[in-house]
Amino acid sequence: MQSLLSFKHGVHPPEHKDITAGIASRRFPFPDEIILPLSQHIGTPAESLVQAGDRVERGDVIAQAAGFISSSVHATASGVVKSIELWPHPNGTMVPSIRIDVDPNSTQMQRPRIVPRWEEVEDEDLSGEIGKAGIVGLGGAAFPSHVKLTPPKDQPIDLLLVNGCECEPYLTSDHRTMLEHPEKVYLGIRIALKALGISRAVIGVEANKPDAIEVMRNTAPHDLDVTVQALQVKYPQGAEKMLIKAVMGREVPSGALPSSIGALVQNVATSANVAAVFTTGQPLIERIITVTGRGIRKPGNWVIPFGTRLRDVINQCGGLTDDAAEIVFGGPMMGLGQANLDVPILKATGGVLVLSRDECKRQDILPCIRCGKCLEVCPVFLNPQLMGALAKAERFEELAADANLGDCMLCGCCSYVCPSNIPLSQLFAASRVQLGRLAKLA
Amino acid sequence: MSGSPIIDSALILGSVGLFFGFLIALVNKKFKVWEDPRIDAVDELLPGTNCGACGVPGCRAFAEAVVSGKQEPSGCTVMGVDDIDDVASYLGVNAGAANKRVARLLCAGGYEEAVQHSDYAGYATCKAAAAVAGGGKGCTWGCLSLADCESSCLLDAIYMNENGLPVVVPERCTACSDCVETCPNDLFVLMPMDQKLIVQCRNLLNGNAAEDLCKVACNACNKCVADSEPGVIEIQNDLAVIDYEKNSLTSPQALTRCPTNAIVWVEGQQFKESSPGSVKTGRVLEQEKQVA
């Protein structure tokens, strides 16, 4: 057997993907209220274009990008704008959000609209069309795609890496996207290649999804220079820089973007949604989301319109079990713990994970025993043990300057292996926030 | 050489020692820097906390600044009025207008008043909790009650009360701003003691939305604005903001119709509690266990 490509270090947590991997995605019923935060992406929040009382149809632009690194927001269901007010956001703050009372009698058909023929659009204008559709990276970071597709002139891209790793345990939304919509993924790849003016793409898929690899290989168009590459099952294989290391054997320099070594990484779900823009004209208003965990009664893969409240998602999926203990947006390794059932589903929400008490046992945090396990797993070769000590002592400046906190991608491998249960990546996340605060105070 | 090795080495080391001794004495005479003896004397009178709240690094530097006339004795926020007078009379200078500042918390939503949506069960610091969905408190602006300020205060001027709010002891607080820097929700401000009218809230919601999250939230009802002199209080982003430039115009009249008691008139200590150190919450005990 050919040895699988991979990166050094990393961990292999139990996958738990069998809960939902075999369940075909289904359309989610429209809730009676949709809440769309103006900030669902990295960058400047969008500017609202609507006022209370306005009627909006599904797919209409309701907030436009404010600046280059920003992204538009579209109505994900037809209805009437109720208000624009502060609303709980999955990141734990309150942000201005557009509340829409969904019309119960609407067919939720989109307005007929002119769909640009991608073959005829100029290469440079493609990213503009993608930006107008509010497409952001669906792998989790929600970085606006049109920004990624216009790399700096002095850093030409020569390889498109399509990310179908889905290395987070439990999640199966990318898996289902590849199984159910391979043609959309390939069309998205074609469009991205045209926008970048290059010809070669590699799709990286972890070897624990043999059916997805087979489907992608069988449906690969013959005129496209694209390889489906099976990768070792290891977390965080799907992290941008790890995928580049595994496939290209090259390392992205500290502090630099993948474009500095000529690579661009796009998630399979992002590709599929780019394809939708140029086939049906549908902007980014919904995606496949895995609702899973032992704490939810009916796990499954659903096409959920963004802005659906967590409460509605849970009710639709049969409700919580008696021993449900924790709700996470995203996977268990990097996901965001949720405190409020009113938070809406966002563009970058790949999964809703409801953990039962057994799955997230509380354990006492013990002193560091300097075993060095965290050093052995850190995929970016940092020293989490030293960083943890600095973070606990609140020596934030040293943490950033001497311990390279900026290179940490908060993947959580160190926290996962720590025998003393020290929540290292949480400490690092908090340290970054604090560094930002102190810079503002000074 | 003759004689025993012990005498030899004693002679050699002794002469080397004498030589360098004379050298040091010579250099000390020649390059002597005269220092005002009053600096040492003032340094003795200062509290020696080295808190930095006066704006210079440490008490010795403050003593130099006072002796050279760059600062007034009242610049030290730790000393009481009597101690400041001692320094001033020793130097024969004016004590300066002492306007003691203390740290005030812009939140009064403890366990009893504020709604908690979910329990936070991880690493027990406010900073860590704030990184996980804002710590589970309904009001995302409010105090997280995990005592980062208590542990940051080197002068033991802050302790947590049973309601999960930090009590600042005005007599001990030197307005050094350590708590201001450490609070992830930016709830501490340094205020002169004569600013007695305080809005203990930073919630930017209005009406019922604010009151649903906390019994003592400012709901932007505008009543305090109407009840005080024009321009003293203003509603900004659904929060009553006091213009302290007009502090002389403030009066307890502004509180009379406040429906939630978000605006208060503070004389001395902000929150009531028993003696310092005797009150510990469950969370603080948990934190102590982890630190140990």
Q: Do A429 and B131 touch (CB under 8 A)?
A: yes
Q: How far is CA A353 from CA A106, A157, A178, A205, A417, in A?
A: 30, 36, 21, 22, 21
> Which residues are paired to A64 by β-bridges?
A47
Q: Do A93 and B135 touch (CB under 8 A)?
A: no
Q: Are B217 and B240 in contact (CB under 8 A)?
A: no
- Chain A residues in contact with B120 (beta carbon < 8 A): 339
Q: Do A91 and B133 touch (CB under 8 A)?
A: yes
A213-229 residue pLDDT tens: 999 999 999 999 999 99
In this prediction, residues B241-254 reach a mean pLDDT of 90
Residue B136: the pLDDT is 86
Residue A124: the pLDDT is 83
Q: Do A426 and B123 touch (CB under 8 A)?
A: yes
Compute the distance between CA of residue A396 and CA of residue A390 in angstroms, rounded to an integer. 7
Compute the distance between CA of residue A173 and CA of residue A21 in angstroms, rounded to an integer. 8
Choose the closest CB to B133 out of A337, A427, A441.
A337
Q: DSSP string of A37-54?
A: ES--SSSBPPEE---TT-
A189-208 residue pLDDT tens: 999 999 999 999 999 999 99
A123-167 residue pLDDT tens: 888 999 999 999 999 988 899 999 999 888 888 899 999 999 999
Residue B249 C-beta-side C-alpha neighbours within 13 Å:
13
- Chain A residues in contact with B121 (beta carbon < 8 A): 362
How much of chain B exceeds pLDDT 90, in percent? 48
Compute the distance between CA of residue B220 and CA of residue B258 in angstroms, rounded to an integer. 10
- Under-70 pLDDT residues of chain A: 1-2
Burial of B97 per CB tally in 10 Å (0-12, 13-18, 19+): exposed
Q: Do B133 and A437 touch (CB under 8 A)?
A: no
Name the pLDDT band for B279 (thresholds 50, 70, 90): very low
Asked whether residue B26 carries a pLDDT value surpassing 60, the answer given is yes
B48-79 residue pLDDT tens: 888 888 888 899 999 999 999 888 888 888 88
Q: Do B131 and A430 touch (CB under 8 A)?
A: yes
Residue B98: the pLDDT is 64
Q: Are B103 and B167 in contact (CB under 8 A)?
A: no
Name the pLDDT band for B284 (thresholds 50, 70, 90): very low
- Of all residues in chain A, the one with the smallest CA distance to B183 is A434
Compute the distance between CA of residue A95 and CA of residue A346 in angstroms, rounded to an integer. 13
Choose the closest CB to A336 out of B127, B133, B186.
B133
Residue A123: the pLDDT is 84
In this prediction, residues B91-109 reach a mean pLDDT of 84
Of B155 and B243, which is predicted with more confidence? B243
Name the pLDDT band for B289 (thresholds 50, 70, 90): low
Q: Are B153 and B166 in contact (CB under 8 A)?
A: no
Q: How far is A336 from chain B (nearest CA, A)?
A: 7
Compute the distance between CA of residue A7 and CA of residue A15 in angstroms, rounded to an integer. 19
Q: Are B130 and B185 in contact (CB under 8 A)?
A: yes
> Which residues are paired to A95 by β-bridges?
A87
Q: Do A438 and B181 touch (CB under 8 A)?
A: yes
Q: Do A339 and B135 touch (CB under 8 A)?
A: yes
Residue A309: the pLDDT is 96
Q: How far is B106 from chain A (nearest CA, A)?
A: 17
Choose the closest CB to A434 out of B127, B134, B137.
B127
Q: What angle do CA A405, A408, A410 make, to 5 degrees?
A: 120
B154 touches chain A (CB under 8 A): no
Residue B133: the pLDDT is 86
Choose the closest CB to B133 out of A338, A431, A441.
A338
Q: Where do the domains of chain A lie, and which CATH numbers do they carry? A: 1-25+120-362 (3.40.50.11540), 373-441 (no CATH)
Compute the distance between CA of residue A339 and CA of residue B138 in angstroms, rounded to an integer. 8
Phi, psi of A178 (to 5 degrees): -70, -40
Q: Do A427 and B123 touch (CB under 8 A)?
A: yes
- Chain B residues in contact with A423 (beta carbon < 8 A): 122-123, 128
Q: How far is A166 from chain B (nearest CA, A)?
A: 23
Q: Tell me the pLDDT of chain B averaged across its residues.
A: 87
Compute the distance between CA of residue A71 and CA of residue A69 in angstroms, rounded to an integer. 7
Q: How far is B54 from chain A (nearest CA, A)?
A: 17
Identity (one letter) of the amino acid at A307?
G
Q: Where do the domains of chain B lie, and which CATH numbers do they carry? A: 38-91 (1.10.15.40), 99-190+276-292 (3.30.70.20), 194-267 (3.30.70)
- Of all residues in chain A, the one with the smallest CA distance to B121 is A362
A98-107 residue pLDDT tens: 999 999 888 8
Compute the distance between CA of residue A312 and CA of residue A345 in angstroms, rounded to an integer. 10
For chains A and B, what is the number of CB pairs under 8 angstroms? 75
Compute the distance between CA of residue A139 and CA of residue A171 in angstroms, rounded to an integer. 11
Enter the tokens of residue B285: 């005990």
Task: Tell me which DSSP letter residue B231 carries.
Answer: T
Q: How far is CA B69 from CA A110, A119, B72, in A?
A: 76, 78, 7
Residue B282: the pLDDT is 43
A421 touches chain B (CB under 8 A): no
Task: Tell me which DSSP letter residue A139 carries.
Answer: T
Q: Do A85 and B184 touch (CB under 8 A)?
A: no
Asked whether residue B272 carries a pLDDT value surpassing 90, the answer given is no
B176 touches chain A (CB under 8 A): no
Name the pLDDT band for B286 (thresholds 50, 70, 90): low
Choose the closest CB to A434 out of B117, B184, B209.
B184
- Of all residues in chain A, the one with the smallest CA distance to B119 is A339
Residue A2: the pLDDT is 54
**Which ranges in B108-245 belong to alpha helices (H)?**
126-130, 148-152, 178-182, 207-213, 223-227
In this prediction, residues B142-166 reach a mean pLDDT of 91
Residue A22: the pLDDT is 93
